[in-house]
A and B are shown apart, each in its own frame.
Chain A
Amino acid sequence: MTEEGERAVFEFRLDNRSGVPPYLQLVQQVKQGLLLGYLQPGDQLPTVKEVAGTLAINPNTVVKAYRQLEHEDLVVPRPGQGTFIQGSVTAVAPGAYAALRRSLDRWLRGAYQAGLDEQAISALFTIALHELHAEPAAGAPAGGEGVA
């Protein structure tokens, strides 16, 4: 269609009840968009003002999310133009998925044996994930795939 019509490729949404911090929700949605192919290199993300004005959220939250994505080389800001997708999410090697899944199953069985229920497990997981992100020196890239 027209050039203006092409701008809003991507729309964020926010789930107040998910327990996932808003900025992380935005980061995850871009990553999901990349994984599922509806975001591609060269696509422009909505401006901070557009996201803040649409979702009625604090612009600092959007800035933080974009900075995180930039840090992970997934987007690049072009001054005066906006933020653009540049990278793609590196696919995890199939073997790595399986291995992680096996160790997670082992851990989960241990947790059930210790008497934790589903809620306690997910609470523990959420807290551990948050605290890992909170450690500035933690080498793990903040992303939190798999929380959703």
Chain B
Amino acid sequence: MSTVTTAPALEAERLGKRYGRRVWALRDCTLQLPQGRVTALVGPNGAGKTTLLQLAIGLMAPTGGTVRVFGEHARANTPQALARVGFVAQDHPLYKGFTVADLLTMGQRLNLPGRFDRPLAERRLAQLDIPLDRRAGRLSNGQQAQVALAMALAKRPRLLLLDEPVASLDPLARREFMQVLMGATAEDGLTVLLSSHVVAELERVCDHLVVLVAGRVRVAGDVEELLASHRLLVGPRADQQALRQVPGVLSVRHGDRQTSLLVRTSPDRPATHPNWQAHPVNLEDLVLAYLQLPQPSLPQPSHDPASMEVTA
């Protein structure tokens, strides 16, 4: 658990990636992931999540900006730098004709000598009753995901990136995957970044959040701070004039007689307003509100107070 550096596990600065001449998959992305945290990277399909992950592991070069992993440029791609990072790609691809044992042998050969803990992977798989002599293609979807995770964890990485790890899994396999992931996180003091478009189950898993929409960061920060600084206000139906009196409004929903607002509060802005009932928000409400924010009113990510706030 001893941390050698205090550099952020992952640090992107004005990171951008353009495919072809016009399509920006990621733009002006500035964010920092503190070490030892579990970060959810949330956004709709096509938001740039996979692009961000692939830039972070140096799989491709950015069009602009920089990305560093533990202070080192991701593109440096030195064997030592790569050894610190684990990656589980979307749909956890495995060579389907390989047995699990073959895959572990491959892991051993492809990693630096001594940097692939095969006995650890075998122990984990034995606990899950996954037979080593079974071909990957004959394993269930959930088991394949577990094999991919066990292989990534066998590197004993300090940073583990997972691209939509549970999207294709049934609820039971999803829970089992998260159990193993969280257990491993506790054991090794891992920093985890996992992308997802399923928001509901993230609240118990993640303590840091990055919401990405159309290639840009909408909001980022510590989950607890974000929840503490947002409220759902419910009151009698309000007109534009009344709404202008309420600072920090992110979203407005009108019913026949009621209006509900999601607002961002801050120390100089009280959480309570006359005429409005304040309710706490959950992570799902908060994420959905940011996903639906109209584009023009977006604050620049670098000036966004949430991404600047530092955990006390």
**Interface residues, chain A, with chain B CB atoms under 8 Å away:** 14, 16, 19, 21-22, 47-50, 52-62, 116, 120, 123-124, 126-127, 130-131, 134, 136
Across the A-B interface, give the 9 residue pairs with the lowest CB-CB distance, nearest first.
A53-B183, A59-B186, A56-B178, A49-B186, A52-B182, A52-B186, A57-B204, A56-B179, A123-B279
Are A58 and B280 touching (Cβ within 8 A)?
A: no
Whether A62 contacts B186 by the Cβ 8 Å rule is yes
Q: State whether A59 touches B280 (Cβ < 8 A).
A: no
Instruction: Please state if A123 and B205 are interface contacts (CB–CB under 8 Å).
Output: no
Neighbour of A60 across the interface among B37, B181, B231, B282, CB < 8 A: B37
User: Is B13 at the interface (CB under 8 A from chain A)?
Assistant: no
Q: Taking chain B's interface residues, is the majority helix, strand, or loop, or is none over half, making it mixed?
A: mixed
Q: Does B146 have its Cβ within 8 Å of any Cβ on chain A?
A: no
**A127 to B280, Cβ gap below 8 A?**
yes
Q: Given A123-B277, A130-B280, are A57 and B182 neighbors across the interface (CB < 8 Å)?
A: yes
Shortest CB–CB separation between residue B195 and chain A, in angstroms?
Answer: 16
| A56–B271 touching, CB < 8 Å | no
Range, interface on chain B: 20 to 34
9 new A-B contacts at CB < 8 Å, known A127-B279, A127-B280: A53-B180, A53-B183, A56-B204, A58-B204, A59-B185, A60-B37, A60-B207, A62-B186, A126-B280
Query: Could you write out 13 A-B pairs with CB less than 8 Å apart?
Result: A16-B204, A50-B183, A52-B185, A56-B181, A58-B182, A58-B204, A59-B186, A60-B36, A120-B277, A123-B280, A127-B271, A130-B280, A131-B228
Residue of B38, B175, B180, B271 touching A58 (CB-CB under 8 A) = B38
When the two chains form their complex, are residues A19 and B282 in contact, meaning their CB atoms are under 8 A apart?
Answer: yes
Q: A14-B204, A56-B178, A60-B38 are in contact. Are A21 and B224 (CB under 8 A)?
A: yes
Residues of the B chain whose Cβ atoms lie less than 8 Å from the Cβ of A48: 186
Contact B36 A53 (CB under 8 A): no
Give bound CA distance, A113 to B179, whole Å.
Answer: 48
User: B residues within 8 A CB of A21?
Assistant: 224
Residues of B2-38 contacting chain A, CB below 8 A: 36-38
Chain A residues lying within 8 Å of B187, measured Cβ to Cβ, are 49
A58 to B36, CA, bound (A): 10
Mask of B247-285 contacts with A, CB within 8 angstroms, 1/0: 000000000000000000000000100000111101000
Most A-side CB within 10 Å, residue of B37, B175, B183, B207: B183
Write out the residue numbers on chain B whose beta carbons fall within 8 Å of the beta carbon of A22: 203-204
Q: Report how far A4 CA is from B277 CA in the complex, Å.
A: 51
Give the complex CA separation of A22 and B246 in angstroms: 30
Of all chain A residues, the one with the shortest Cβ separation from B175 is A56
B74 at the interface (CB under 8 A from A): no
The answer to the question of B206 belonging to the interface, with a C-beta cut-off of 8 Å to chain A, is yes
For residue B312, CB closer than 8 A to chain A, the reply is yes
Q: Once the chains are docked, how many angstroms separate the CA of A124 from the CA of B231?
A: 11
Nearest CB in chain A: distance from B284 CB, A:
10
- Report B-chain residues with C-beta under 8 Å of the C-beta of A16: 203-204
Within 8 Å CB of A124, what residues of B? Answer: 277-278
| Contact pick for B271, options A50, A126, A131, CB 8 Å | A131
Select which of A19, A56, A120, A127 is within 8 A of B182 by beta carbon. Answer: A56
A61 CA to B205 CA, complexed, in Å: 9
Cα–Cα, bound, A49→B282 (Å): 25
